[in-house]
């Protein structure tokens, strides 16, 4: 299975989202073996999800709190995300780790909570430029993936997003991607009993229609988590077609 997920981050207003979905759906058709997802900001979850559901597009949230309810001002629970129509949730994105102090301990709870509410966790891992230049890429990724030893078996997607490539126009070289995705697969086998749950490994970090075909040709690259290019419905539509 190949997977293409749009991460809009903190972008688009209601009118923009409506125009995006109209333009995307005008050219989108479901392809066998391709899972498509869109992760809008929280206020846009329900209208975007309602518009896309008929075409089999999965709705993802960009984050979620582990507790089902409570005095957590500014947070949104997995229960609320599921209630809004989401099928999955992005967890551990580097921007959450960097700007909001998201820890491995918190992510263990979030992965478990997502599964409790029948949400597919899309776990992001990746190294900074400093860590890569120091030769610590695999060590960093191994630590980030080690939380899976505590979360137990269950549905999971993983996205490798080198932090230094997000929104910069830079992309890891094919050999770097090949090495990292093979390492992630080995760690998945080590840390979790996958059972009946296949775990696709996506690549993220300045994914575009120009570089996506090459990425899809790399073993263990099952698709893409797309940031900037996903804000253009035409480009995102092209990426979905390339995955098919």
Please say if 65 is a catalytic residue: no
Strand segments, DSSP code E, in 126-166 are 157-160
Strand partners, 60: 88
For 197, the token pair is 């749950």
Contact of 144 with 184, CB cutoff 8 Å: no
Please say if 175 is a catalytic residue: no
Name the CA radius of gyration of the chain, rounded: 17
For 50, the token pair is 């309602």
Active-site position among 28, 93, 131, 181: 93
Distance from C-alpha of 80 to C-alpha of 233, rounded to nearest angstrom: 27
Quick count: other Cβ atoms within 10 Å of Cβ 203? 28
DSSP-derived 3-state class of residue 109: helix
Active-site position among 95, 102, 127, 161: 161
Distance from C-alpha of 25 to C-alpha of 231, rounded to nearest angstrom: 14
Distance from C-alpha of 98 to C-alpha of 103, rounded to nearest angstrom: 10
Q: Which residues are catalytic?
A: 93, 161
């Amino acid at each position: 299975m190949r997977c293409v997920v749009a991460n809009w981050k903190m972008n688009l207003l209601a009118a923009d989202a409506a125009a995006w979905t109209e333009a995307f759906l005008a050219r989108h058709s479901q392809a066998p073996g391709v899972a498509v997802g869109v992760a809008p900001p929280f206020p846009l979850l329900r209208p975007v999800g309602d518009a896309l559901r008929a075409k089999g597009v999965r709705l993802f949230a960009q984050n979620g709190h582990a507790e089902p309810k409570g005095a957590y001002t500014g947070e949104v629970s997995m229960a609320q995300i599921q209630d809004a129509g989401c099928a999955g949730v992005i967890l551990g994105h580097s921007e959450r780790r960097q700007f909001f102090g998201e820890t491995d301990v918190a992510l263990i709870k979030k992965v478990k909570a997502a599964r409790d509410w029948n949400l597919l966790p899309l776990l992001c891992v990746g190294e900074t430029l400093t860590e890569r230049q120091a030769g610590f890429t695999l060590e960093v990724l191994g630590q980030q993936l080690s939380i899976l030893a505590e979360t137990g078996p269950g549905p999971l997607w993983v996205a490798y997003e080198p932090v230094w490539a997000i929104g910069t126009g830079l992309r890891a070289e094919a050999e770097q991607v090949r090495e990292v995705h093979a390492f992630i697969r080995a760690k998945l086998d080590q840390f979790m009993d996958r059972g009946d749950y296949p775990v696709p490994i996506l690549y993220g970090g300045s994914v575009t229609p120009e570089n996506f075909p090459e990425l899809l040709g790399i073993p263990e690259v099952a698709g893409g988590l797309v940031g900037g290019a996903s804000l253009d419905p035409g480009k995102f539509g092209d990426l979905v077609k390339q995955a098919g």
